Structure 1
Amino acid sequence: MGGRFMAMIDAILFDVGNVLVQWDPKNLYRKLLPDEEAVERFLGDVCTLEWHSAHDQGTSFEENAALLKEAHPDHAELIDLWGARYLEMSPGEVDGVSTLMDRAESAGLEFHGLTNMPSSIYPLLTEAFPPVARLKTVVISGDEKICKPDLEIYRRAVGRMGTDPARTLYVDDTLINANAATELGMVSHHFTDAAGLENHLDELGVFGAG
C-alpha cells in the first residue's frame, strides 16, 4: 500500500521566503556597497526589516521609499533599488526542497502557500522559481493587508484551501509563525532545511508503506 493511504496529512501549506526560495537583502546590497560593514550599517540603519514590513502589509515600494528618502537623502538611489532589484535578494531555490516536493506530490499531497510578501513580487517569483509556481492556493500578506503571525491570515488561508486544518502541515522558517498555525489545529514544522522537513514528513507517514 502506498504512503498516501496512511499519511496523517493531505496538504502542505508553505511559507515562501527561505523555505522554497532563498531571501536575504544582503544578496543585493553586497553588489552595491563596498564591504560587509557598509552592508550591515545600511540594512541596520536605513532599509531595515521593520521598514520593509510595511511592504508586506500592502504599502507600495514607491510610497515607502519616498518617506525613507526624506530621512536619508544621501541614500536615495540605494533605497529605490530595494524595489527595483528586489529579485536579486533571492539568488536561488532552497536546496533540496524541489526534490522533496516531487516525492510528496507523488505520495498524493497538494501544495498551498501563505507568505508575508509584497503583492507585486509574488508573480515574479512564480516565473523565476518552479517550486513557487506549484502552489495551488496562495494567500499573500500584501494583498490581505495583514501579516503572520496574525491568526486572521491563517484563517483566510484555511478557508480558501478547502483542506482539513488537522490534516495540513504548515511549514515556516520563523518559529512564531509556525507555532501560530497550531492554534488553528494545523500540524506545524519549523523549517531549517529540507532534510529536517523530509524527516517530519516521514514521521507523518507521507513516505511510509503499509
Structure 2
Amino acid sequence: MLGVGMNKNPSIVVFDIGNVLLRWDMHYLYESYFQNRDAAQAFIDETGLEAWNLEQDRGRNWEEAEAALIPSFPQYETEIKAYRKHWQHMVPGVIAGTVLIKERLEALNTPLYAITNFAADTFAECQDRFPTLKAFIDIVISGDEKLIKPDPAIYRVLLERNNLDASDCLFIDDSAKNVEAARAVGMHAHHFTSPYLLAQDLRGYGFDV
C-alpha cells in the first residue's frame, strides 16, 4: 500500500551494494576448498555460515565470530578462518552495468545514497578497491549502526540523518525482503535482478538513464 506522497516520482536513488553494485558470493572463495559446488554448499549449510556472517554485518568482530564457530566445527577451522583472511576473493569485481547506470545518475546530479549489510572493516577495504563506492552523499553501513536490513530502523537512519522524505527515495536491492521493508517505511523500491530491468524501471520513474 502506498503512503502519503507515493504518487510522485522519486528524485533520490538509494543503492544496496552486494549483488547490486558488487558481485558477491561465498562460492567464489570456497570453490578452491571443496571438490564441487555442492560440497561447498554443504559446508556453508552445515556450519550456518550465512547466519554467522550476518552477525559480522551486525557489528560483531571477526575474532569473536571465529571463536564462536570453530569449536563447533574444528574440522573446518582452516575454511572458517579463510572467510576473513581471503574475504576479498568473494568480491571479484563490480556489476559493470549497474555502475554505469550509477555514473549516468551522477551526471544528472541525482542525489545518491546507499544502505548496505556489510561488516565495517570489509566495506572499507571494498571502498579502497572500488572507488565508485565512495561516490555517495551518505552510506549507512550495518556494521557501524549495529542494525541490518530488513529492520525498518536501518532505513530510518538514512532518512533521519539526511533529513530525507521517504517518498522522494527509490531504494534498489537484490533481496525481496529488503525491498518490502523499504516500501513499508514509505520508499519506492526496485527488486534488482539485472541492470537491464533496473534501467527500464529508472526510466519509468523519470530518470533519464
Structure 1 Cα separation of the partners of residues 169 and 199 of structure 2? 15
Secondary structure, in 3 states, of the residue corresponding to 2:167? helix
Query: Which residue is equivalent to 1:50?
Result: 51
Structure 2 Cα separation of the partners of residues 140 and 105 of structure 1? 21
Structure 2 Cα separation of the partners of residues 174 and 29 of structure 1? 22
Query: Which residue is equivalent to 2:30?
Result: 29
Does 1 or 2 have the higher relative contact order (CA < 8 Å, sep 6+)? 1
Instruction: Answer whether contact 1:112 1:161 (CA < 8 A) is retained.
Output: no
Query: Which residue is equivalent to 1:205?
Result: 206
Instruction: Answer whether contact 1:47 1:79 (CA < 8 A) is retained.
Output: no
Superposed CA offset, 1:2-59 (max 9, x none): xxxxx93222111110001011100001122232232111111125211211111111
Unaligned runs of 5+ in 2: 1-7
Map 1:1-210 onto structure 2 (within 5 A): 8-46=9-47, 48-207=49-208
Task: Output the amino acid matched with 1:203.
Answer: G
- TM-score between the two structures when normalised by the length of structure 1: 0.91
Percent of paired sites with the same residue: 30
Instruction: Answer whether contact 1:58 1:141 (CA < 8 A) is retained.
Output: yes
Secondary structure, in 3 states, of the residue corresponding to 2:96? coil
List structure 1 runs of 4+ shifted beyond 4 angstroms: none
- TM-score between the two structures when normalised by the length of structure 2: 0.91
The number of residues matched between the two structures is 202
Query: Which residue is equivalent to 1:3?
Result: none
Structure 2 Cα separation of the partners of residues 33 and 67 of structure 1? 23
Structure 1 Cα separation of the partners of residues 138 and 167 of structure 2? 17
Task: Output the amino acid matched with 1:69.
Answer: I
Secondary structure, in 3 states, of the residue corresponding to 1:123? helix
Query: Which residue is equivalent to 1:4?
Result: none
